[in-house]
Structure 1
Amino acid sequence: MSVRHLSSLFAPSSVAVLGASNQADTVGHLVMRNLLSGGFAGPIMPVNPQYQAVAGVLAYPDVASLPVTPDLALLCSPPQHLAAQIKALGQRGTRAAIVMTDVRGHMPAQGPRPLSEILLALAREHRMRMLGPGSLGLLAPGIGLNASGFVRPAAEGKVAFVSQSGAVCTAVLDWARGHGIGFSHFLSLGEKVDVDFGDAIDYLGTQPDVRAVLLHIESVTDARKFMSAARSAARNKPVIVIKSGRGAEGAQAAASHTGNLAGADAIHDIAFKRAGMLRVYSLEELFNAVETLAHTRRPTRGHRLAIVTNGGGLGVMAVDELIERGGTLAPLSPATTKALAQVLPPGVMPANPLDLGGAAGGELYGKALDILLGAGEIDAVLVMYAPFAQSPSTEIAQTVIDTANRHRTASVFTCWVGQAQVVAARSLFTEAQIPTYLTPDEAIQGFMHLVTYRRNQHMLMETPPSLPSEFTANVESARQIIDLAIARGHLVMSEPEAKAVFASYGIPTVETHIARTPDEAAAVARRMNGSVALKILSRAITHKSDVGGVVLDLETPDDVRRAAEDMAQRVAQTFPDAPLEGFTVQRMARRPGAHELIVGATLDPIFGPVVLFGQGGTAVEIIRDQAVALPPLNMALARDMLERTRVFRLLEGYRDKPAADLESICLTLIQIAQMMIDIPEIVELEINPLFADARGVLAVDARVRLEPGKTKGPHRLAIRPYPAQLEETFVMRDGRAALLRPIRPEDEPKHYEFVSRLSPEDVRFRFFGLVKELPHDQMARLTQIDYAREMAFIAQIEEDDEPRTLGVVRAVTDPDNETTEFSVVVRSDLKGSGLGKALMLKIIRYCYERRTRYMVGQVLRDNRRMLRFCEDLGFERIGLVDEDVVELRLDLRRVAALGD
Structure 2
Amino acid sequence: MKKRRKNREVLKALFAPRGVAVIGSSWQSPLFLQVLNNLAASRGKSRVWPVILGPDRQMPPEIFANEIDLAILVIPVSETLPVLRRCDAAGVAAALLIQSPEGTSLQRADAYTGLREELTDLSIRVLGPNSAGLMLPGEKFNASVIPGTALTGSVAFLSQSGALCNAILDWSLREQIGFSAFASVGAMVDIGWGELLTWLGDHAATRSIIIYMESIGEARAFLSAARETTLSKPVIVIKAGRTETAARAMAAHSFHPAGDDAVLDAAFRRIGVLRVESIAELFYMAEVLSRQPLPSGNRLMILSNSGSAGVLAADSLTTRGGAPGHVPDETVAALRDRALVTGFVDLGEDADAGRYSEVLGVLQADADTDGTLVVYAPTIFTPAEDVADEVIRFAHSQQKPVLASWIGGNSVQKGTAMLERAGIPTFPYPDTAAKIFNYMWRYAYNLRALYETPALVDSEEKAGERRAFADELLQKELELGKEALSADAAARLLAAYGLDVSDEKPAGGQSYPCAMGSFVDAEFGPVLYFSATAQGPAPGSDRALALPPLNTTLARRMLEQTRFYQQMQAEGRVDLNKLEQTLVGFSRMLVELPRIHEVKLDPLFLHIGESGEARPQVAACQIRLFGKEIPDNRLPRPAIRPYPIQYVSEWRLRDGTPVLIRPIRPEDEPKFVVFHRHLSDQSVYFRYFHTIQLDQRIAHERLSRICFVDYDREMALVVETATGDEQDIIAVGRLIRAHGDDEAEFAILVADKYQRSGIGTELLRRLVAIGGREGLARITAKILPENSGMLQVCRKIGFDVRFNADEEVYDAVIAL
TM-score by length of 1: 0.81
> Does structure 2 retain, via aligned residues, the 8 Å contact 1:240–1:278?
yes
Instruction: State the 1:175 CA deviation.
Output: 3.4
Q: Which residue of 1 aligns with 2:602?
A: 688
> Does structure 2 retain, via aligned residues, the 8 Å contact 1:337–1:351?
no
- 2:189 is paired with a residue of what secondary structure? coil
> Does structure 1 retain, via aligned residues, the 8 Å contact 2:545–2:558?
yes
Q: Which residue of 1 aligns with 2:196?
A: 200
Which aligned pairs between 1:745-756 and structure 2 lie closer than 5 A? 745-756=666-677
In the superposition, relative to structure 1, how do residues 623 and 289 fare at CA in structure 2: closer, same or farther (>3 Å)?
Answer: closer
In the superposition, relative to structure 1, how do residues 36 and 857 fare at CA in structure 2: closer, same or farther (>3 Å)?
Answer: same
In the superposition, relative to structure 1, how do residues 360 and 592 fare at CA in structure 2: closer, same or farther (>3 Å)?
Answer: closer
- Cα distance in 2 for partners of 1:241, 1:267 equals 15
Instruction: State the 1:458 CA deviation.
Output: 0.9
Q: Which residue of 2 aligns with 1:597?
A: 514
Q: Are residues 1:229 and 2:229 paired? A: no
Q: Which residue of 2 aligns with 1:14?
A: 19
Instruction: State the 1:346 CA deviation.
Output: 4.2
Identity over aligned pairs, percent: 33
- Cα distance in 2 for partners of 1:688, 1:666 equals 17
> Does structure 2 retain, via aligned residues, the 8 Å contact 1:83–1:118?
no
Instruction: State the 1:358 CA deviation.
Output: 4.3
Q: Which residue of 2 aligns with 1:77?
A: 75
> Does structure 1 retain, via aligned residues, the 8 Å contact 2:306–2:377?
yes
> Does structure 2 retain, via aligned residues, the 8 Å contact 1:45–1:66?
no
- 1:602 is paired with a residue of what secondary structure? strand
- 2:71 is paired with a residue of what secondary structure? strand
TM-score by length of 2: 0.89
1:888 corresponds, among 791, 807, 811, to: 811
In the superposition, relative to structure 1, how do residues 492 and 833 fare at CA in structure 2: closer, same or farther (>3 Å)?
Answer: same
* Range moving further from structure 2, 438-447 or 477-486: 477-486
> Does structure 1 retain, via aligned residues, the 8 Å contact 2:301–2:344?
yes
In the superposition, relative to structure 1, how do residues 200 and 629 fare at CA in structure 2: closer, same or farther (>3 Å)?
Answer: same
Q: Which residue of 2 aligns with 1:399?
A: 390
Q: Are residues 1:388 and 2:309 paired? A: no
- Cα distance in 2 for partners of 1:466, 1:497 equals 24
> Does structure 1 retain, via aligned residues, the 8 Å contact 2:403–2:425?
yes
Instruction: State the 1:704 CA deviation.
Output: 0.4
Q: Which residue of 2 aligns with 1:697?
A: 616
> Does structure 2 retain, via aligned residues, the 8 Å contact 1:63–1:92?
no
Q: Are residues 1:327 and 2:246 paired? A: no
Instruction: State the 1:857 CA deviation.
Output: 2.8
- Cα distance in 2 for partners of 1:802, 1:303 equals 38
Instruction: State the 1:319 CA deviation.
Output: 1.2
- Cα distance in 2 for partners of 1:202, 1:468 equals 32
Letter in 1 for 2:40: L
Which aligned pairs between 1:429-448 and structure 2 lie closer than 5 A? 429-448=419-438
Which aligned pairs between 1:523-534 and structure 2 lie closer than 5 A? none
Q: Which residue of 2 aligns with 1:720?
A: 641
Q: Are residues 1:458 and 2:457 paired? A: no
* Range moving further from structure 2, 357-366 or 814-823: 357-366
- Cα distance in 2 for partners of 1:244, 1:628 equals 20
Spell out, residue by residue over 1:80-116, the C-alpha distance to the aligned partner (whole angstroms, 9 max, x if none): 5433322332233222211213586699xxxx99655
1:179 corresponds, among 175, 181, 184, to: 175
- Cα distance in 1 for partners of 2:783, 2:599 equals 51
- Cα distance in 2 for partners of 1:755, 1:488 equals 56
- Cα distance in 1 for partners of 2:466, 2:268 equals 33
Q: Which residue of 2 aligns with 1:731?
A: 652
In the superposition, relative to structure 1, how do residues 488 and 672 fare at CA in structure 2: closer, same or farther (>3 Å)?
Answer: same
Q: Are residues 1:807 and 2:731 paired? A: yes
Q: Are residues 1:611 and 2:602 paired? A: no
Instruction: State the 1:272 CA deviation.
Output: 1.3
Letter in 2 for 1:790: E
Please tell me the root mean square deviation across aligned C-alpha atoms, in Å: 3.3
Q: Which residue of 2 aligns with 1:857?
A: 781
- 2:302 is paired with a residue of what secondary structure? strand
Instruction: State the 1:466 CA deviation.
Output: 10
- Cα distance in 1 for partners of 2:287, 2:346 equals 27
Letter in 1 for 2:472: Q
Instruction: State the 1:792 CA deviation.
Output: 0.7
Q: Are residues 1:298 and 2:294 paired? A: yes
> Does structure 2 retain, via aligned residues, the 8 Å contact 1:87–1:123?
no
Instruction: State the 1:209 CA deviation.
Output: 0.7
Q: Which residue of 2 aligns with 1:762?
A: 683
* Range moving further from structure 2, 798-807 or 720-729: 798-807
- Cα distance in 2 for partners of 1:397, 1:878 equals 63
2:161 corresponds, among 165, 171, 175, to: 165
Q: Which residue of 2 aligns with 1:255?
A: none
Q: Are residues 1:46 and 2:44 paired? A: no
- 1:719 is paired with a residue of what secondary structure? coil
- Cα distance in 2 for partners of 1:880, 1:423 equals 61
Instruction: State the 1:371 CA deviation.
Output: 4.7
In the superposition, relative to structure 1, how do residues 433 and 250 fare at CA in structure 2: closer, same or farther (>3 Å)?
Answer: closer
- Cα distance in 1 for partners of 2:749, 2:593 equals 36
Spell out, residue by residue over 1:202-223, the C-alpha distance to the aligned partner (whole angstroms, 9 max, x if none): 1111101111111222122211
- 1:716 is paired with a residue of what secondary structure? coil
Instruction: State the 1:587 CA deviation.
Output: 5.2
Q: Which residue of 2 aligns with 1:664?
A: 578
Which aligned pairs between 1:63-462 and structure 2 lie closer than 5 A? 63-65=61-63, 68-79=66-77, 81-101=79-99, 116=112, 127-248=123-244, 264-299=260-295, 301-333=296-328, 341=334, 346-348=337-339, 353-373=344-364, 377-407=368-398, 409-462=399-452
In the superposition, relative to structure 1, how do residues 189 and 699 fare at CA in structure 2: closer, same or farther (>3 Å)?
Answer: same
* Range moving further from structure 2, 11-20 or 328-337: 328-337
- Cα distance in 2 for partners of 1:44, 1:488 equals 65
Q: Which residue of 1 aligns with 2:40?
A: 36
- Cα distance in 2 for partners of 1:465, 1:212 equals 30
Q: Which residue of 2 aligns with 1:679?
A: 593
- Cα distance in 1 for partners of 2:569, 2:442 equals 23
Q: Which residue of 2 aligns with 1:556?
A: none
Q: Are residues 1:629 and 2:546 paired? A: yes
- Cα distance in 2 for partners of 1:635, 1:479 equals 25
In the superposition, relative to structure 1, how do residues 807 and 272 fare at CA in structure 2: closer, same or farther (>3 Å)?
Answer: same
- Cα distance in 2 for partners of 1:38, 1:289 equals 29
Spell out, residue by residue over 1:840-890, the C-alpha distance to the aligned partner (whole angstroms, 9 max, x if none): 22112111222312222344555454444445444455666986x736332
Q: Which residue of 2 aligns with 1:487?
A: 479
Letter in 2 for 1:502: L
Letter in 1 for 2:190: D
Spell out, residue by residue over 1:258-291, the C-alpha distance to the aligned partner (whole angstroms, 9 max, x if none): xxxx970111111111121000111111111111
- Cα distance in 1 for partners of 2:64, 2:479 equals 64
Instruction: State the 1:599 CA deviation.
Output: 0.9
- 1:161 is paired with a residue of what secondary structure? strand
In the superposition, relative to structure 1, how do residues 228 and 623 fare at CA in structure 2: closer, same or farther (>3 Å)?
Answer: closer
Letter in 2 for 1:751: F
Spell out, residue by residue over 1:439-496, the C-alpha distance to the aligned partner (whole angstroms, 9 max, x if none): 1011112111111211111110348899899986722222222111111122122222
Instruction: State the 1:224 CA deviation.
Output: 0.9
Instruction: State the 1:644 CA deviation.
Output: 0.9
Instruction: State the 1:387 CA deviation.
Output: 2.3
In the superposition, relative to structure 1, how do residues 350 and 691 fare at CA in structure 2: closer, same or farther (>3 Å)?
Answer: closer
- Paired residues, what number? 786
Letter in 2 for 1:45: W
> Does structure 2 retain, via aligned residues, the 8 Å contact 1:16–1:45?
yes
Instruction: State the 1:195 CA deviation.
Output: 1.0
> Does structure 2 retain, via aligned residues, the 8 Å contact 1:87–1:122?
no
Q: Which residue of 2 aligns with 1:577?
A: none
Letter in 2 for 1:729: E
> Does structure 1 retain, via aligned residues, the 8 Å contact 2:456–2:643?
no
> Does structure 2 retain, via aligned residues, the 8 Å contact 1:757–1:827?
yes
> Does structure 1 retain, via aligned residues, the 8 Å contact 2:599–2:623?
yes
- Cα distance in 2 for partners of 1:748, 1:307 equals 39
> Does structure 2 retain, via aligned residues, the 8 Å contact 1:612–1:628?
yes
In the superposition, relative to structure 1, how do residues 429 and 475 fare at CA in structure 2: closer, same or farther (>3 Å)?
Answer: same
Instruction: State the 1:506 CA deviation.
Output: 2.0
> Does structure 2 retain, via aligned residues, the 8 Å contact 1:20–1:31?
no
Letter in 2 for 1:14: G
Letter in 1 for 2:451: M
> Does structure 2 retain, via aligned residues, the 8 Å contact 1:877–1:886?
no
Query: Which has the higher Rg, Structure 1 or Structure 2?
Result: 1
Instruction: State the 1:811 CA deviation.
Output: 1.2
- 1:683 is paired with a residue of what secondary structure? strand
